[in-house]
Amino acid sequence: MNKLLVITGGTKGIGRAIIERFAREGFHIATCARNEKDLAALETFIKETYPATVFTMKADVSKKEEVMRFVQAVKDKYNKVDVLVNNAGVFIPGTIHEEEEGALELMINTNLYSAYHMARGFIHEMKAARSGHIFNMCSTASIMPYANGGSYCISKFALLGMSKVLREEMKEHNVRVTSILPGATLTASWEGVDLPEERFMKPGDVAESVWSAYQLSDRTVIEELVMRPQLGDI
C-alpha cells in the first residue's frame, strides 16, 4: 500500500525536490501552494513521471482557515498521513527597527503558525497509529541571527522551538519529529543575487537528507540536521 507525503509549498525549490524524491519511491503526494498554475504543472509532471498519485489545493498558509481547509481535504481523501513536511515559508529581508509594518505578522503566520496548525491537524491520527514522521523546515537562521534577517530570524527561531517541544511530546507515541536547518539553497528566494550557482546548496541535497532521515529505523530519529554550503554561509 502506498504511503502518503503531505507537504506545504510543494511547487518550487526544496518542496518540489522533496516531492520528487518521495514520489520516486511510490509515495502518494498531497500539497498546497498559492499559485494554481504551478500546482497544475506539478500534478501533471508527477503523474507522468513517477508511480504516484497527486492531490493539490490552492491555499495561502499564512491564513489559518486555508490551512485547516487543506488539512480537512487531505483527511477526506486519505486514511493516513505517513510523512508531514512543513515546508512553506516566506523571507522578507529587513531589520527589526526599520522593516515594514506587518513583516513580523506575515512571517510568523507563514513560517510558524502554518506548521503549528498543520501539525495539530494530523498529529492525533499519527498518535493513534503510533507511526508518522514530521519534518519542520527551519533554517540556519533558527540558530544564528544575522544582519538584515529581522523578523525572519524571529520566526525561524520560534519554529525550531516548536519542533523541540513537539519532539518531546511525541517520544512516547512513536512519532518522529525532525528539524531541518538548511543554509543558502538555490531557490526563488535568492533570485537576482550576483553569486555563482556553485556557491549554493542544491534543493535536491536537502530532499535527499529528508529522505535519508525518514529511512532510518523506528528506533532512531534525527532531531536536528544543520546543512550549509561547503564554503559556508553567504
Catalytic residues: 152
Q: What distances in angstroms separate CA 49 from CA 13, 26, 161, 182, one per listed residue? A: 18, 11, 37, 27
- E-assigned strand segments in 3-91: 4-8, 28-33, 54-58, 83-86
C-alpha cell of 67?
Answer: 490551512
For 161, the enclosing helix (H) or strand (E) is helix 150-170
Residues 109, 62 contacting (CB under 8 angstroms): yes
Distance (Å, whole) CA 3 – CA 62: 27
| Cβ-proximal residues to 184 (8 Å cutoff; 6+ apart), any chain | 190, 199, 200, 201, 228, 229, 233, 234
User: E-assigned strands of 78-192?
Assistant: 83-86, 133-137, 176-182
Q: What's the CA gap between 200 and 230, in Å, rounded?
A: 8
Grid coordinates given for 57: 489545493
Backbone angles phi and psi of 139, in degrees to 5: -175, 160
